[in-house]
Structure 1
Amino acid sequence: MKSTQAAKKKLLDVQNLSVSFDVYAGEVQAIRDVSFQIEEGEAVAIVGESGSGKSVTAQTIMRLIQMPPGRIKNGKVLLDGQDLLALSEKEMQKVRGNKIGMIFQDPMTSLNPTMTVGKQIMEGLLQHQKLSANEAKERVIELLRLVGIPNPETRLKQYPHQFSGGMRQRVVIAIALACNPSLLIADEPTTALDVTIQAQILNLMKELQQKMNTSIILITHDLGIVADICDRVIVMYAGQVVETGTKREIFNNPQHPYTKGLLKSLPRLDQAKDEPLIPIFGTPPDLIKPPQGCGFCDRCDEAMRVCETEVPDYTILSDTQSVRCWLQHPYAKQAGSSGSKEASV
């Protein structure tokens, strides 16, 4: 898929990425021909249900997929024009934590319980920045202060269990930002936190993005948390990108039935107390035997006959919005086929 968006400088370019896992039952096709781009200083959300391929995409960018059982079948991941998939593990170690930082889902399992937080933040600085111990310590204090941890001179000597969940997540953010990466990947960064702390962490990420001009990929299943900090939204389903657009386009003018379903299942402030949320009925397809046609076909009220047998191509709706759905095909619109299982393209 080629973007027609008037770009700044393209930082990350994922091209036709396909990733599988070889398990006892067969080949799980976790990522199927995924393409997208991230610009400098841009915040992009990747949203979708559990199992849609969001985290596998992020881990592939970071080259954290365990191989085997994982297998990168096809594609390129270009960071500033350099294909990360072609690098050796030693070369990739110079990229992780330096050019790309990552915030993982659970801060308690992301941190080493036997090391002080100061040493854990300092680790990347000493490896990538060639700083002396004193310079690294000063940078750690600066980072802890930047992410809103009080008394950083004292706190850097403490262990993860001495921090609350929100403070541990701030430490993880400090580790990810230590070497001023050009790209920050946040994989469900607020899942393990309560609502109040979620808001604080998201506001912190927004502030840091503006201060440091860092590009952000925010991976989440919750559309509600992307509205404030993200510029664009990428919707994934069954290992594929099904719709992309600006935040305004996705929230105000969704075109894919799956995107519409996600939004209908989201609580709204203008919703009546007795008005129920509308879930997406059914379950995602088995990616050991992915559907021959559209992955959302079995759960879609507007599916047509062609949806069962042919994978739809991308339809460019604007300079910033595209969708992978047969309902956008000119023939489907001419036939007025929406809602008819018998219609074909």
Structure 2
Amino acid sequence: MKSTPNAGRTLLDVKNLSVSFDVYGGEVQAVRDVSLRIKEGEAVAIVGESGSGKSVTAQTIMRLIQTPPGRIKQGQVLLDGQDLLTLSEKDMQKVRGNKIGMIFQDPMTSLNPTMTVGKQIMEGLLQHQKLSGEEAKKRVIELLRTVGIPNPETRLKQYPHQFSGGMRQRVVIAIALACNPSLLIADEPTTALDVTIQAQILSLMKDLQQKMKTSIILITHDLGIVADICDRVIVMYAGQVVETGTKREIFNNPQHPYTKGLLKSLPRLDQAKDEPLIPIFGTPPDLIKPPEGCGFCSRCDEAMRICETVVPEFTEISGTQAVRCWLQHPYAKRAGSAGGKEASV
């Protein structure tokens, strides 16, 4: 799976990552053998429905998985060649907020209601950049102005409850960007906001990425919001990466039945008024006992016998697009002549 041809060096390289949670019912295999690469200065979206493993992947990169019940079973998370999974918690604290910043889904729960926003932004600056109090205050004012908060000299003395939802999310972005991280992870940053504020936040992230050359991982379940901000799209389902490609490839030439289903369920401007949206019928598999083969098999109208028992290999469609689906395997056409559901590779 290759990345955009004009992208820079590899900043983040996740290799064969598997993460499980031990619960009363058994072992939930939340992330299963996930590999992905993020290039320097690149914006990548990780999409998929709830429970697909998007947030767990991001939290594992940040080493925020609570252990127990969480367990990193295997894999590497290489940031600039350094495996974050081998670092001590003390060393990892030097990475969080410094080399990697994270924007969480709900700004109200990620901000401390008992501290002014200025102090919360200042924390990372004092810890990682060793600035004096006056220097840190100047940087806070600069950051608040950068993320579009008016009267920053006054606002830095206020508390989170004195800000609107959109303004609180801007504060969270300011905290994430305080130390100029090389990687910014945004975990559904617009879910709790109305449509107008969503557009403003996404536009802000795009502008900051272009100005600061920060790599961005945007995690979302909505393909519609990634079209303007991201270079590449990674599609996850049932804890696995099922397709990856450039934005143009995913939107114009999707290869996996799940990706096609996501796109068909989105409203379009050119859609006729009486044309219904097509949902993806069925439910995701139980990851306490995941399927032996393709996780999407039970919901796929084109499934073959092999899909039920063998995990699909990745097939390269182009230099930048790859899909985990037996339908795209080189032998699939030959198998198709054997008769639809009964076909095997």
In the superposition, the TM-score normalised over structure 1's length comes to: 0.98
**Structure 2 partner of 1:53:** 53
2:4 touches 2:246 (CA, 8 Å); kept in 1?
no
Tell me how far apart the structure 2 counterparts of residues 146 and 53 of structure 1 sit (CA, whole Å): 32
How far 1:8 moved relative to its partner? 1.8
What is the CA deviation profile of residues 309-343 of structure 1, one whole-angstrom value per residue up to 9, with x for unaligned ones? 00011001111000000001122112435982111
**Structure 1 partner of 2:272:** 272
What is the CA deviation profile of residues 208-250 of structure 1, one whole-angstrom value per residue up to 9, with x for unaligned ones? 0000000000000000000000000000000000000000000
**Structure 1 partner of 2:79:** 79
Cα gap change, 1:4/1:183 in structure 2, threshold over 3 Å: closer, same or farther? closer
The 3-state SS of whatever aligns with 1:211 is helix
Cα gap change, 1:338/1:45 in structure 2, threshold over 3 Å: closer, same or farther? farther
Describe how 1:102-251 pairs up with structure 2 within 5 A. 102-251=102-251
**Structure 2 partner of 1:91:** 91
1:54 touches 1:219 (CA, 8 Å); kept in 2?
yes
How far 1:254 moved relative to its partner? 0.1
One-letter amino acid of the structure 1 residue matched with residue 45 of structure 2: A
Tell me how far apart the structure 2 counterparts of residues 113 and 275 of structure 1 sit (CA, whole Å): 47
Tell me how far apart the structure 1 counterparts of residues 337 and 267 of structure 2 sit (CA, whole Å): 30
User: Which structure 1 segments of 5+ residues have no match?
Assistant: none
Tell me how far apart the structure 2 counterparts of residues 243 and 53 of structure 1 sit (CA, whole Å): 14
Q: Does 1:3 align with 2:36?
A: no
Tell me how far apart the structure 1 counterparts of residues 2 and 287 of structure 2 sit (CA, whole Å): 27
2:8 touches 2:41 (CA, 8 Å); kept in 1?
no
Tell me how far apart the structure 1 counterparts of residues 327 and 17 of structure 2 sit (CA, whole Å): 25
Number of aligned residue pairs: 344
**Structure 2 partner of 1:17:** 17
One-letter amino acid of the structure 1 residue matched with residue 308 of structure 2: E
The 3-state SS of whatever aligns with 1:11 is strand
2:102 touches 2:186 (CA, 8 Å); kept in 1?
yes
How far 1:5 moved relative to its partner? 5.5
What is the CA deviation profile of residues 52-96 of structure 1, one whole-angstrom value per residue up to 9, with x for unaligned ones? 000000000000000000000000000000000000000000000
The 3-state SS of whatever aligns with 1:312 is coil
Tell me how far apart the structure 2 counterparts of residues 92 and 338 of structure 1 sit (CA, whole Å): 54
**Structure 1 partner of 2:341:** 341
**Structure 1 partner of 2:289:** 289
Tell me how far apart the structure 1 counterparts of residues 111 and 133 of structure 2 sit (CA, whole Å): 21
Tell me how far apart the structure 2 counterparts of residues 336 and 325 of structure 1 sit (CA, whole Å): 14
Cα gap change, 1:339/1:320 in structure 2, threshold over 3 Å: closer, same or farther? farther
**Structure 1 partner of 2:27:** 27
Cα gap change, 1:293/1:200 in structure 2, threshold over 3 Å: closer, same or farther? same
What is the CA deviation profile of residues 92-151 of structure 1, one whole-angstrom value per residue up to 9, with x for unaligned ones? 000000000000000000100000000000000000000000000000000000000000
Tell me how far apart the structure 2 counterparts of residues 182 and 71 of structure 1 sit (CA, whole Å): 27
One-letter amino acid of the structure 2 residue matched with residue 51 of structure 1: G
The 3-state SS of whatever aligns with 2:16 is strand
Cα gap change, 1:42/1:165 in structure 2, threshold over 3 Å: closer, same or farther? same
Tell me how far apart the structure 1 counterparts of residues 116 and 333 of structure 2 sit (CA, whole Å): 61
How far 1:344 moved relative to its partner? 1.0
RMSD, aligned α-carbons: 1.1
**Structure 2 partner of 1:323:** 323
1:304 touches 1:339 (CA, 8 Å); kept in 2?
no
1:305 touches 1:342 (CA, 8 Å); kept in 2?
yes
